[in-house]
Structure 1
Amino acid sequence: MEIKAVSQLTDEHRAQVINYLQATGFKLGLLVNFGHYPKLEWERLANTREKR
């Protein structure tokens, strides 16, 4: 789970979560943004690569 407080999630934020997933071998991750007022913004990201 990666928590942000930014106005908008970017591809760099998504890439960071994917890198964490690849490094740990986990299959799913959450990217949560508390800065998208007035709603909570979240994305579920999947690691589709095998750990080497």
Structure 2
Amino acid sequence: MPSPAKRDLPTKICVACGRPFAWRKKWARCWEQVRYCSQRCRSDRDSQRR
């Protein structure tokens, strides 16, 4: 069974940069907790809190 087309994957908006990003296989178990599109956005957000 082929994987779904990219346009059919669920998306979210990154809380740091505001850009949309799509589901990734590595996030299959934790998609509900994912808030950032990349490690860079996660680290930038953490540095802004301080």
TM-score normalised by length of structure 1: 0.27
Question: Which has the higher Rg, Structure 1 or Structure 2?
Answer: 2
Q: Which has the higher strand share?
A: 1
TM-score normalised by length of structure 2: 0.28
Which structure's relative contact order is higher, taking Cα pairs within 8 Å and 6+ residues apart? 1
